[in-house]
Amino acid sequence: MAKSDASLSVDTNHETGEALLSGMGELHLEITIYRLEEEQGIKVNQSNPIVVYRESIGADNKGRPFEGKSPNRHNRFYVEVEQLPENVITALREGDLGDGPVRNKDAKEVGNKFGELGMDKDLMRKIYAINATTVLSTIRRVFRICMKRGSLS
């Protein structure tokens, strides 16, 4: 279908198993579905997209870290999750905290900037890189992966 009509997009949602058909509008999709059913004899079940709900950070887990292990089981890492204050999120989005890798000589300055926003400046000196798009998208991706695997009981 997508080969015969370049404005169509067919994707499969691997989490829900549904095939998603996207086009230029509702009429375009109706015509495409009509052609599939009438010309090709393929029955199409139409429904609203299935929404997969995700967990988010509702409260800090300080003192109760999650444990992870490396594939070879020789290394362990512990993760503690907490929400960032709104003023820190705003500063990250506006670029007030810098952008790119944090060099060793700049670590103290970066820690002090985070300290002014109410964060632990000694902990913030250990930041590797600041990039509002890359780091935030990576954090979101890792969080989705962790939530997809389920909660620890």
pLDDT in tens, the chain (153 residues): 777 888 888 888 888 888 888 888 889 999 999 998 999 899 988 888 777 776 667 777 777 888 888 888 888 888 887 788 889 888 888 888 877 777 788 888 888 888 999 888 888 888 777 765 556 677 778 888 877 776 654
Is 45 found in the same domain as 75?
Answer: no
Domain count, the chain: 2
Is 43 found in the same domain as 80?
Answer: no
- pLDDT of 84 reads 82
The CATH number linked to 25 is 3.30.70.870
DSSP codes joined into one string, 55-67: ----S--TT--EE
Q: What is the DSSP letter of 45?
A: -
pTM: 0.43
Is 79 found in the same domain as 25?
Answer: no
In a domain, 58, yes or no: no
- pLDDT of 105 reads 83
Is 143 found in the same domain as 71?
Answer: yes
Is 73 found in the same domain as 23?
Answer: no
Can you give the residue range of the structural domain that contains 21? 1-52
How far is Cα 140 from Cα 118, in angstroms, rounded to an integer?
23
In a domain, 46, yes or no: yes
How far is Cα 114 from Cα 112, in angstroms, rounded to an integer?
5
How far lies 59's CA from each of 62, 80, 81, 119, 146, in Å?
A: 9, 11, 8, 17, 16
